[in-house]
Amino acid sequence: MNLLDAITSPDDVKSLSLDELGELSDEVRQLLIDKVSATGGHLGPNLGVVELTIALHHVFESPREPLIFDTSHQSYVHKVLTGRASQFDTLRKKGGLSGYTSRSESEHDWTESSHASAALSYADGLAKAKELAGAGEDRVVAVVGDGALTGGMCWEALNNIAAGERNVVIVVNDNGRSYSPTIGGFARNLTRLRDQLAQIRMQRSYDEVMETGKKTLKSMGWVGERTFEALRAIKEGVKYQVVPSEMFPELGMKYIGPVEGHDLKALLQAFSYARSHDGPIIVHVVTEKGHGFAPAVNHVADQMHSTGVIDPITGEALTASVPGWTSVFSEELLKAAHQRSDIVAITAAMAGPTGLTPFAEQFPERFFDVGIAEQHAVTSAAGMALGGLHPVVAIYATFLNRAFDQLLMDAGLLSQPVTLVLDRSGVTGSDGASHNGVWDLAIASIVPGIRIAAPRDPARLREEFNEAIAHGTGPTVVRFPKGDIGTDVDAVERLPGGTDILFRPAGEAADDELEILLVAVGSFAENAVVMAENVAGDGLRVTVVDPRWVIPIDPVLIAMAAGSDMVVVYEDGIVRGGVGSALAEALASAEVDTPLRQLAFPDVFPLHGSRTEILREYGLDPASGEAQLREWAESLRD
């Protein structure tokens, strides 16, 4: 029997010898390759933390001593060691295992959010709660990547953790990247730190080690007892060094590292020391993303940060790649940049996923990767706009949540021409609740003076993006969903305000027929046309319009609504605060009493599943929409 077959909880991990832990590491790594290659998921990050996670569960007492994984996309090994190995066939599928930690799955999962840079704040809060409950001797462990440490929230948390004496263990998983290589001054400091201490380890004799150690420590400003402590560690051949707050010198926290992240003996030594230490401590672990799977390690773009279905041997994709929304945006941005020298592009550590890599290659001096720092990205963009540039900030729709204050007060209040391009708007699917972009319309629509475009097809994406960057008196948003972009949905007519009529009933209305105005937002346009055609025989005359620019409300919609029996807004955002809400307010202000109904998400956090499954679950697929139209029409007739 494999060792993995006997692992049902962390207690089973604690009973294993060092050699057995090594065997377990191999088995877990093979399980991940086999299972994730079949389902898709975050393969590279999890292959990089196999030994690290095993060592954590061997030393600490989960769930009493919480393990908090920042973003938690690298929690697959944690799931395996806490009794969920048999569920990996259902990974990221509807009703199956979440791709992130999930409180509903296990008592060992303390958080659910997969937004970066939050783990240290959770850990600070948990440590304070334990202290007040009389359990302050317990440790709270936060595993945070060097990429996540570029986010400002980490620094706010570190400032508070360092101010106390609570037992917070900060494990810095340093693999040199998030989606892409980690940038900024902190990343340079990590590289310098690794290089300095690596010099000590490379010495071949005790005298050389001691002499080099003394010089290195002296250059760091060490004297007295601290020097003795570090040199003693070197002499005894320990795989880590205790150095004085070199990673965050102003905070004064104890530091261990760098520790070889795939050496179980070194990890166990380091974590055992950290668990015996009173007060906050940093354990700096150097890992390799994709470790043990050559196709991932050699994957230049992102070490297989997130994959679809792949061959478990070669790593080759087994599903065909077709042009998506992101690629169309990328092409249009390049065209604009060649025509206008004031166009600059900003990413928050995701140049590849948001389509900015070609721009970065052709215009490196006009490209800015700010790290995982959406707040800084938007305000920095406002500063660039103040300086005469037109910044394009490309981020996932879900991450706009983090930069709302900056959009409102720094770009909106100053009426600066900043264009936000929101990828993965609406339902993203398998990444689940924290990655679905269903809140962006509600968040952005309340910014005074903002203009929001929701293109329905490739032609409209190109068209509306160029209209956005031509706008010079306030922020603009262009949003589009994840996935294939499909073909163009041509308009029957474009009205003077820019609204497109996509479908218009033929002939004159009979006395018993109802006139319905169906306002389709973005990629729902194609579904809306199908719905209108299918209900035409039921005494319903449905006119489908695409406003293109959904915020502010085009006055023509108010006039069209006044001549209709019912208005239906079909959008892939939440029901409150989106396009439907804005149109309802506009109709009320104009004293138009035509009833308005909304096909939109209720107040829920949509869980993981395919886009098709999620839309069907909440009645937003064409068949459900048709049934709802008929039901609403019957209520009007009654």
CATH number of 586's domain: 3.40.50.920
Domain shared by 562 and 456, yes or no: no
For the stretch 27-43, pLDDT in tens is 999 999 999 999 988 89
Residue 511 pLDDT more than 90? no
Per-residue pLDDT of 103-153, as tens digits, reads 999 999 999 877 889 999 999 999 999 999 999 999 999 999 888 888 889
Question: Which has more confidence, 611 or 226?
Answer: 611
Same domain, 470 and 519: no
The model's pTM is: 0.86
Catalytic residue among 402, 479, 482, 541: 402
Percent of the chain with pLDDT over 90: 68
Same domain, 477 and 506: no
At 467-501, the pLDDT tens digits run: 999 999 999 999 999 888 989 999 999 999 999 99
Q: State yes or no: pLDDT of 355 exceeds 50.
A: yes
DSSP 390-405: EEEEEEEGGGGGGGHH
**266 and 342 co-located in one domain:** no
Binding residues for thiamine diphosphate: 73, 114-116, 147-148, 175, 293, 374
- The answer to the question of residue 489 being in a domain is no
* 525 and 621 both lie in a single domain: yes
Whether 140 and 168 have beta carbons less than 8 Å apart is answered as: yes
* Domain stops at, among 259, 282, 297: 297
Mean pLDDT check: name the lowest of 9-23, 55-69, 219-233. Answer: 219-233
| Lowest model confidence (mean pLDDT) among 80-84, 140-144, 222-226, 539-543 | 222-226
Do 281 and 331 fall within a single domain?
Answer: no
Which of these three, 453, 481, 509, is where a domain ends?
481
Question: 320 in a domain, yes or no?
Answer: no
Distance between CA 281 and CA 254 in Å, rounded?
A: 5
- Selecting among 84, 139, 289, 611, the annotated active-site residue is 289
The answer, yes or no, to whether residue 420 has pLDDT greater than 80, is yes
Residue 581 banded pLDDT, cuts 50, 70, 90: very high
CA atoms of 404 and 392, how far apart (whole Å)? 16
| Structural domain span for residue 63 | 3-297
Is 402 among the residues known to form the active site?
A: yes
Distance CA 341, CA 356 (A): 16
Residue 319 included in any domain: no
Evaluate whether 92 touches 431 at the Cβ level (below 8 Å).
Answer: yes
Is a pLDDT exceeding 50 seen at residue 638? Answer: yes
Average pLDDT of the chain to the nearest whole number: 88
> Per the domain annotation, does 315 fall within a domain?
no
User: 195 and 229 share a domain?
Assistant: yes
- pLDDT over 80 (residue 204): no
Q: Is the separation of the CB atoms in 459 and 472 below 8 Å?
A: no
Does the residue 305 lie in any domain?
A: no
Asked whether residue 81 is domain-assigned, the answer is: yes
Which tens digits make up the pLDDT trace of 220-265?
A: 555 555 555 555 544 444 444 444 446 776 778 888 888 999 999 9
Structure-model confidence comparison of residues 195 and 414, the more confident one: 414
**Domain check: are 286 and 195 in the same one?**
yes
Quick: pLDDT tens for 283-335.
999 999 888 888 888 876 677 777 888 888 888 888 766 679 999 999 999 99
289 catalytic? Reply is yes
Q: What is the CATH number of the domain that holds 61?
A: 3.40.50.970
Determine which one of 374, 464, 613, 626 is catalytic.
374
User: Is 374 a residue of the active site?
Assistant: yes
Pairing of strands 476-481, 281-286: unpaired
Has residue 358 been placed in a domain? yes
Known binding-site positions for Mg(2+): 146, 175
pLDDT score for 538:
86
Same domain? 56 vs 174: yes
Which of 429, 452, 481 is where one domain is finished? 481
Quick one: tokens of 603? Answer: 């107040």
Same domain, 503 and 416: no
- 229: which 2 tokens? 């402590």
The total number of structural domains in the chain stands at 3
Q: How far apart are CA 467 and CA 488, in angstroms?
A: 18
Q: Is residue 310 part of a domain?
A: no
Q: 196 pLDDT band (50/70/90 cuts)?
A: low
Show the CA angle centred on residue 424, arms to residues 420 and 430, nearest 5°.
155
Binding-site members are 73, 114-116, 146-148, 175, 293, 374
Residue 209 has pLDDT above 60, yes or no: no
Both 226 and 125 in one domain: the answer is yes
- Same domain? For 49 and 89 the reply is yes
